[in-house]
Amino acid sequence: MPSHPSSITPAMSDMSYRGLLSLQGRVFVVLGAGQGIGEQVSHALSECGATVVCVDSDPWRAQAVAETVHGIPVSADITQASDMERVFQTASALPASGPLGLVDVVGMVIPNDLTHGTESGWSRQFQLVLDHAWLAMRVGARAMQGRGGSMVFIGSIAGTVVRSGAALAYASAKAALHHLVKGVAQDLAPQGIRVNAVAPGLTRTPRLVASNPDSFWTTEAARIPLRRVGMPSDIAAAVLFLSSPLADFVTGQILAVDGGSSLASGGGFNLAASGPAPT
């Protein structure tokens, strides 16, 4: 019988997909590393060989996570340019043999509807979700010049599927973040800097678990096609993929990690309580 040419080229047969998950020699900045998704992201990156700069507004939380992942703790207010500069100066000074990485997890919900919401609440929501992300991109891009890098931001399916009422400000800010990610990805691609986002659905973060009863989680799990809510580890796994060489040809993408929630775009939902609204 005539032989058939192999569908795998010699170059492809030499490919080590396990090796593409290695982050040995790389330094990553994780903003919001102190708990929940940020903590799990720090563990994921560290387990694959990265040195992690664990940034949190709470110095105790930054220190605690850094100790468990053998990382570098930094306490900072990521809404301030001087603090963001200090974060990346710390990361840039560490020994590394590869591109620099950034994962930005910051961005809590501030309930704020159109009729009864406040201007200060609207502004604060955009500061926490969008303004600081722009700042991280700006300072991070400068630090990555000449070495390349990866940026991953935590968006939300609320930024993709229309949300109103108390979620209006949050959803609007996340939608703006998604657009910012795509625009900056296009701008930075020629420099070898990739920019992506993960858009979680409802996820059992410490803040949400503390603010919502068990009945809330049971009810909301039933609305999700996979019949469960997300865990911080689900989001960290997606961040790890986008941060690794496995995703070297991926940029400007918003990856939904939501159990299929965004498939039913017209479906109802209940906004998770996240603590008292700021005064």
**pLDDT for res 147:** 92
Q: Please give the CATH number for the structural domain made up of 22-263.
A: 3.40.50.720
d(CA 256, CA 246): 18
Instruction: Return d(Cα 218, Cα 139) in angstroms, integer.
Output: 41
Tokens found for residue 147: 């070495």
The domain ranges of the chain are: 22-263
Per 3-state DSSP, the chain is made up of helix, strand and coil in percentages (nearest 5) of 45, 15, 40
CB 180 within 8 A of CB 134: yes
Q: Please answer whether residues 44 and 237 qualify as being in contact, where contact means their C-beta atoms are separated by less than 8 angstroms.
A: yes
What pLDDT score does 267 carry?
47
Q: What is the pLDDT of residues 115-144, one digit of tens each?
A: 887 888 888 988 999 999 999 999 999 999
Q: How confident is the model at residue 6, as a pLDDT?
A: 45
* pLDDT computed for residue 122 by the predictor: 80
**pLDDT (0 to 100) of residue 5:** 47
CA 76 to chain CA mean position, Å: 18
- Residue 276: predicted pLDDT: 58
170 is catalytic: yes
| Identity at 275, one-letter amino acid code | G
Alpha carbon distance 35, 41 (integer Å): 10
Q: What is the pTM of this model?
A: 0.89
d(CA 176, CA 126): 9
Token pair belonging to 117: 């919401």
Q: Which position among 88, 153, 170, 269 bears the catalytic label?
A: 170
**pLDDT digit string (tens) for the chain, length 279 residues:** 445 444 455 555 677 888 899 999 999 999 999 999 999 999 999 999 999 999 999 999 999 999 999 999 999 999 999 999 999 999 999 988 889 999 999 988 877 788 887 888 888 988 999 999 999 999 999 999 999 999 999 999 988 887 777 778 888 999 999 999 999 999 999 999 999 999 999 999 998 899 899 999 999 999 999 999 999 999 999 999 999 999 999 999 999 999 999 886 544 556 676 665 554
- State how far Cα 247 lies from the chain centre: 15
